[in-house]
Amino acid sequence: MDLDIACHINVLVDGPDSPLTPQALVRVAEAGYRRIVLAPFDPAATDLASLRRLFDDAGLTPIPIAGQMPGADVSSADADERRAGEAALYAMVDATAALGGDQLNGVPYGVFGHPMAPIDAAARERSATSVGKVADYAHEHGITMTFEVVNRYETAMVNTAAQAMEYAELSGSDHLRIHLDSFHMAVEESDAAQAIRAAMPRLAYLELGQSGRGLLSTGAVDIPGLVQGALDDGYEGRWGVEAFSRSIIPGFVADMLAIWREPYTDGGALAEDAMRVIRAGWAASSVGRRAQRLARSAGDTGSIIRPA
């Protein structure tokens, strides 16, 4: 299987105060992952050089996450707050480059959290214009900037693939890319396969998360079917695996994401389970079946007719 798959860093630690160990990273790399999605961090307070060495030693490439906060929000009508929001995004692009990454994920278009009212057109345009400028800056530094489409309980800005395409066009950037997540699609989309097709021109990251935020093999979302369908429809971008468990992430993050239970306790086992589920979808796809036929043909030397 030749898919470029990332695993969220929160899957790998044993608790909110546990360090990320080289052993955990090696286990994930050995399971077939190529990248690791980082938790949000303050680049000014982070030893980026040491962090980069940790990932380099494991053979994994990091994908940081960009976001906004009150007082630094690109959708704000206040010019100073908007500039502070842009500055935070530019800083995360620079941090991504310092870490040796080539992709920046996240929710860069506004403050993440339960919205209390719809987003008006002016706020959406302000947000898109700022994010588009940062996406162009990222592209100049060899970095693809994506924005995640999340559900109605986490933002009012962008909830569907169709809205994501509109937002990307509004940004004015040819380089801004879309990040879809099966967990959020299960809430917002009437047809996940159609949503993937709709976003395909700008889709760069397709994340796999189950309905209960736990193992990909257990839940209401047909992950193998989604993988198969996306590959059959021509998706060639990167993939991600995301899961959350109450005891493994900081309490304030668990509260913000409404993670009240323990869907899993062994992050390494979850990462390995996810890879098996993804492989099942790949094997059923036209891409996977073709690769398997070629592999069998290459190994079946007895069927080759050689010239006399």
Q: What is the pLDDT of residues 285-308, one digit of tens each?
A: 999 999 999 988 887 654 444 333
Q: Radius of gyration (Cα) for the chain, nearest Å? A: 20
Query: What pTM does this model have?
Result: 0.94
| 123: confidence class by pLDDT, cuts 50, 70, 90 | very high
What confidence score (pLDDT) does residue 13 get? 73
Three-class SS of the chain: CCCCEEEEHHHCCCCCCCCCCHHHHHHHHHCCCCEEECCCCCHHHCCHHHHHHHHHHHCCEEECEEEEECCECCCCCCHHHHHHHHHHHHHHHHHHHHCCCCEEEEEEEEECCCCCCCCCHHHHHHHHHHHHHHHHHHHHCCCEEEEECCCCCCCCCCCCHHHHHHHHHHCCCCCCEEEEEHHHHHHHCCCHHHHHHHHCCCEEEEEECCCCCCCCCCCCCCHHHHHHHHHHCCCCCEEEECCCCCCCCCHHHHHHCCCCCCCCCCHHHHHHHHHHHHHHHHHHCHHHHHHHHHHHHHHCHHHCCCCC
Q: Which of the following is catalytic: 81, 154, 189, 242?
A: 242
Q: Is the confidence at residue 234, as pLDDT, over 90? A: yes
For helices 267-284 and 286-299, the axis angle rounded to 10 degrees is 80
Percent of the chain at pLDDT > 90 equals 84
Q: Which of the following is catalytic: 148, 154, 189, 207?
A: 148
Higher pLDDT, 18 or 111: 111
What confidence score (pLDDT) does residue 300 get? 64
Average pLDDT over residues 151-180: 98
What confidence score (pLDDT) does residue 285 get? 97
Average pLDDT over residues 97-123: 97
Backbone angles phi, psi at 307, to 5 degrees: -65, 145
Higher pLDDT, 308 or 159: 159
What confidence score (pLDDT) does residue 12 get? 80
| 253: confidence class by pLDDT, cuts 50, 70, 90 | confident
Is-catalytic flag, 262?
Answer: no
What confidence score (pLDDT) does residue 304 get? 43
Residues 40-99 have pLDDT tens digits of: 999 999 999 999 999 999 999 999 999 999 999 999 999 999 999 999 999 999 999 999
What confidence score (pLDDT) does residue 308 get? 35
Q: Is the confidence at residue 15, as pLDDT, over 80? A: no
Is-catalytic flag, 148?
Answer: yes
Torsion sign, CA atoms 54, 275, 219, 109: positive
Average confidence score pLDDT of the chain: 93
What confidence score (pLDDT) does residue 248 get? 84
Q: Is the confidence at residue 20, as pLDDT, over 90? A: no
